[in-house]
Chain A
Amino acid sequence: MMNSTAFLPTTDGGSVRTTPVDAVALEARAAALCTRSIKTTSKRAALHTTIRCIDLTTLEGIDTPGKVASLCQKAIRPDPANPTIPSVAAVCVYPEMVEHAVTSVSGTTVVVASVAGAFPAGMSTPAVRVADIADAVGRGAGEIDIVLNRSAFMSGDLRRAYDEIVAAKEACGTAHLKVILETGELGSYEQVRRASMLAMAAGADFIKTSTGKIPKAATHPMVLNMAEAIRDYADQTGVIVGLKGAGGIRTAKQAWHHLVIVGETLGSDWLTPERFRLGASSLLNDVLMQIQKLDTGHYSGPNYVTVD
């Protein structure tokens, strides 16, 4: 069992150190960053950056090829009436929908991300989960979102949690691996900090807050906490890992405060789709309405954005 400042092994034989986290001060810092006032040119830039960093997501049991095609269209051209609006970074779907998505986004910048590894609980045997990943990659997913083995992590079997991420990374091949910590289940910021370091040390390209399947998800302090972990990891190893917030991000204002938090913690360099993502579905339309407000000077309404 680790203590609060334990060292974790990295895949190259080194180690990284994790730090305790004070919850109240962390939340106070996040709240302070959320008082940043984003106006005029900054607001427009934030809205565009938000769109470019979105993983437009549908993860429902009733997802169909038709739904996925519609989502992909929205991802490529978020506002049909405004060609200056960029495409989102990726669409995020279940493995079974990967081929439909790949077809729909073909020839565009939009990447297909697939959840895999017995998402969202991850409670299948390692072999099944690795096969699930390999299958999704084989069918064209460029990015794979898996969950941390919280069962292993919470029972103290960090080695198993770590090894499984190493195996998942191997199964990904050239696809990018995002490791979902499911922060709402880990009980404390400090555990999340530890899980972040573990996932990065095991080779995650991105660490991601949540599955979106439980209520407590990508809160601002949680994103700050993980951004700080990424900074620590970069400081200690020189390796740059991306951050994805997912779950509960519905408004443009929430999104730009995430940008503020990541930007002020990791630097503006991090505010690109290569290093930062927001997993969301309804967020996109709120961002589009805000852009329409900037363009026209009038408040927009839901009938002026497409429901996909």
Chain B
Amino acid sequence: MTPTDNPLESFDIDYAPALESTAVIDIADSYGHFINGVFVEPSSGVTFPTVNPATETHLADIADGSPEDVDRAVTAARTAFEGPWGQMTGSERGRYLFRIARQLQERSREFAVLETMDGGKPIKESRDLDLPLSAAWFFYYAGWTDKLEYAFPNRTVAPHGVVGQIVPWNFPLMMAAWKLAPALAAGNTVVLKPAETTPLTALLLADVLCDVDLPPGVVNIVTGAGGTGAAIVDHPGIDKLAFTGSTEVGKTIQRVASTRRIPLTLELGGKAAHIVFEDSAFDQAVEGVVTGIYSNQGHVCCAGSRLLVEESIAEHFVERVRRRISTLRLGNPLDKNTDVGAINSADQLQRITDMVATGVAEGADLYQPECELPDKGFWFPPTVFTGVQQSHTVAREEIFGPVLTVQTFRTAEEAVEKANNTPYGLSAGIWTEKGSKILWMAEKLRAGVVWANTYNRFDPASPFGGYKESGFGREGGLHGLAPYLREQTSGAGGSA
């Protein structure tokens, strides 16, 4: 029974590298905009680089979209809306969406690797979450195309026309899928802008759109940063806007949309409370809290960034959380065993670093497990702040990084009060084995998604979106279809 001295024969959890191959992908030197079914050069000739945040290596040059580029895209979308796409039956549109879904499944390896290279997220997440859900979103909404008359009783619906969609960098392809699938199912055409740090999977999606013979102009992809987004928001040919991103930018977009009186949906930031009661399933609660904040490096709008734990178990629970995060594997996102990948960009790393410094300066207690950060690339270790008060900046502002704050509560009322004491209202988590308490909490929490005894679950059939400053409108399910349709018989109705 003596263990061998040979380390090669003694298994431990410092696993050997298990790298996903990058041979499946082929990144071009540069990319133009995808307009009217073809890639076109940017009118300005200006490009910007996209880099791999895990290595800082240059991946490709990306076209910087000007107002002229946006105008070409809107024109193409309008032509397609008034032409082939608008004239198709719902079931015909559905065929294209089904095809896109299948293509995403068939090429999922390629998309997953590219997503990880461009955005820094662990390959296991792009492989097991982003890609399956992206395909599922198209499948789900494909089925709605020819059933729209059953969706909203006593309502005759029609598409808006040309929809402008701006998506963030945390789930680049998945956010595009969340936006495109319902918009197309409803019969709109689209001008989509992926985020400037993560444009590659959207551009690969363009490839898929060509392969499935989607009519030119139905989906147009214009790359660029905030200026390009503003050009979409400002364009008079846009009939409806949908944005996912920061609350700050969302407010700017709402100002413009309200002036233009066009319908808008916003999926913005969050500062979700993750509430753990003494009578919870302890180990699953620890796991839920840990994955709820550290998955995708905390770049998740609905991340459970505020742990509220019942005071009677707080010490023990936090100790377990610390122990658990010390086993998180941070490193090469292409390694199939990596749990925590790279921070998406140098800018975001700076934001997180500054916020954490503020937390320390305001007196919260910092904990970071021993964890070697790679020399190149943008990295931040999983971080826990204890001794946090409601007034601390780290407990109030969205950090969008792997940073958990811990506060305690004594009663369910106090937990609700603290959870709701924020301008945000996107999501919340509850861990207790008492059913009546779950339902009581679920009613009281002012958040659009409440996960009870689970966290960060998504599904195309399940509406997702926020209360208060976390935005309005829903994505997913029947409720995610509604924003892409207008009432045909009157021009009235809806938020703007």
In the bound complex, residues from chain B placing their C-beta under 8 Å from that of A52 are: 3-4, 9
Provide the residues of chain B in CB contact with A42, threshold 8 Å. 11, 15-16
Residues of B within 8 A of A40 (CB): 16-17
Residues in B318-342 with C-beta less than 8 Å from chain A: 327, 336-337
Please, could you name 20 A-B residue pairs with CB atoms under 8 Å apart, sorted by A? Answer: A19-B281, A19-B282, A21-B284, A22-B281, A22-B453, A29-B287, A35-B124, A35-B128, A38-B18, A41-B16, A45-B8, A45-B11, A48-B6, A52-B3, A86-B9, A228-B283, A259-B11, A267-B13, A268-B12, A268-B14
In the assembled complex, A97 has its CB within 8 A of some CB on chain B: no
Instruction: Report if A25 contacts B (CB, 8 A).
Output: yes
CB distance from A100 to the nearest CB of B (A): 21
CB distance from B53 to the nearest CB of A (A): 22
- Further 19 A-B residue pairs, CB within 8 A, beyond A21-B283, A26-B281: A20-B433, A21-B281, A22-B454, A24-B454, A29-B287, A37-B15, A37-B336, A38-B15, A42-B11, A42-B16, A44-B9, A46-B11, A48-B9, A228-B283, A263-B11, A268-B14, A271-B10, A273-B1, A274-B1
Q: Does A104 contact B (CB under 8 A)?
A: no
B7 CB-CB contact with A under 8 Å: yes
Question: Roughly how many angstroms separate A143 CA and B1 CA in the complex, as a whole number?
Answer: 13
Q: How far is the CA of A274 from the CA of B10 in the complex (A)?
A: 13
Q: Is A201 an interface residue (CB 8 A)?
A: no
The answer to whether B18 touches A37, judged by C-beta atoms less than 8 angstroms apart, is yes
Q: Is the CB of B9 within 8 A of A111?
A: no
**Does the CB pair A20–B8 fall under 8 Å?**
no
Residues 429-463 of B, flagged 1 when their CB comes within 8 A of A and 0 if not, give 00001000000000000000000011000000000
| Residues in A whose Cβ lies below 8 Å from that of B8 | 41, 44-45, 48
With A and B bound together, what is the CA distance between A37 and B454 in angstroms? Answer: 25
Q: Residues of A contacting B401 with CB < 8 Å?
A: none
Bound: A44/B10 CA distance, A: 9
B18 and A25 contacting across the interface, CB-CB below 8 Å: no
B336 in complex: contacting residue of A35, A89, A267, CB < 8 Å? A35
Q: Which residues of B have CB within 8 Å of A41? A: 8, 16
Give chain A interface residues in 65-96, CB to chain B under 8 Å: 86, 89
Judge whether B16 and A39 touch: CB under 8 Å.
yes
Q: How far is the CA of A40 from the CA of B13 in the complex (A)?
A: 14
Q: Report A-chain residues with C-beta under 8 Å of the C-beta of B10.
A: 45, 48-49, 271
* B413 surroundings in chain A (CB, below 8 A): none
CB <8 Å contact, A25 and B11: no
Which chain B residues lie closer than 8 Å to A5 at the CB level? 278-279
Chain A residues lying within 8 Å of B259, measured Cβ to Cβ, are none
Min CB–CB distance A232 → chain B (angstroms): 8
CB distance from A228 to the nearest CB of B (A): 5
A163 interface contact, C-beta 8 A = no
Residue of B4, B282, B284 near A29 (CB, 8 A) is: B284
A22-B281, A52-B4 in contact; A263/B13 too (CB < 8 A)?
yes
Nearest Cβ on chain B to A36's Cβ, whole angstroms: 6
Q: Indicate if the CB atoms of B17 and A25 lie closer than 8 Å.
A: no
Cα distance A19–B284 in the bound complex, in angstroms: 10
Q: 9 tightest CB-CB pairs across the interface, nearest first?
A: A37-B18, A25-B284, A268-B12, A48-B9, A49-B11, A37-B336, A22-B281, A42-B16, A45-B11
State in angstroms the CA–CA spacing of A259 and B14 once bound together.
12
Nearest-neighbour CB distance to chain B for A73, whole angstroms, equals 18
Q: Which chain A residues (262-281) contact chain B, with CB distance < 8 Å?
A: 263-264, 267-268, 271-274
Nearest A-chain residue to B127, judged by Cβ: A35
Nearest residue (CB) in B for A41 is B16
Closest residue of chain A to B454 (Cβ to Cβ) is A25
| Given A21-B281, A25-B453, A36 and B337 contact (CB-CB distance below 8 Å) | yes
Question: Does B11 contact A256, Cβ atoms closer than 8 Å?
Answer: yes
Set of chain A residues within 8 Å of B433, measured between Cβ atoms: 4, 20, 22
Contact A260 B13 (CB under 8 A): yes
Quick one: CB contact mask for A270-294 with B, threshold 8 Å, 1 for yes? 0111100000000000000000000
For A271, the closest partner residue in chain B by CB is B11
- Determine whether B2 belongs to the interface, using a CB cutoff of 8 Å to chain A: yes
Contact with A along B300-333 (1 / 0, CB 8 A): 0000000000000000000000000001000000
B105 contacts which chain A residues (CB < 8 A)?
Answer: none
How far does the Cβ of A272 sit from chain B's closest Cβ, in whole Å?
Answer: 5
Q: Is the CB of B1 within 8 A of A89?
A: yes
Which residue in chain A gives the minimum CB-CB distance to B13? A263
Q: Quick one: which of B124-174 are within 8 Å of A by CB?
A: 124, 128
A271 B280 Cβ-Cβ under 8 A:
no
A109 interface residue (CB < 8 Å to B):
yes
Give B248-282 as 1s and 0s: 1 = Cβ < 8 Å from A's Cβ atoms. Answer: 00000000000000000000000000000011111
Output the nearest chain B residue to A43 by Cβ-Cβ distance. B16
User: Which of B124, B337, B454 counts the most chain A CB atoms within 10 A?
Assistant: B337
Residues of A within 8 A of B224 (CB): none
* Alpha-carbon separation in the docked complex, A50 to B4 (Å): 12
- In the complex, whether B288 has a CB less than 8 A from a CB of chain A is yes
Give the residues in chain A near B1, CB-CB below 8 Å: 89, 109, 111, 273-274
CB within 8 Å for A271 and B17 given contacts A19-B282, A25-B287, A25-B288:
no
Q: Are A48 and B4 in contact (CB under 8 A)?
A: yes
The CA-CA distance from A21 to B287 in the complex, in Å, is 12
Q: Is the CB of A36 within 8 A of B128?
A: no
Docked complex Cα distance between A49 and B13 (Å): 12
Rounded to whole angstroms, the CA-CA distance of A260 and B15 in the bound complex is 10
Kindly report which residue of chain B lies nearest to residue A49, judged by CB atoms: B11
* 2-35 of chain B: CB within 8 A of chain A: 2-4, 6-18
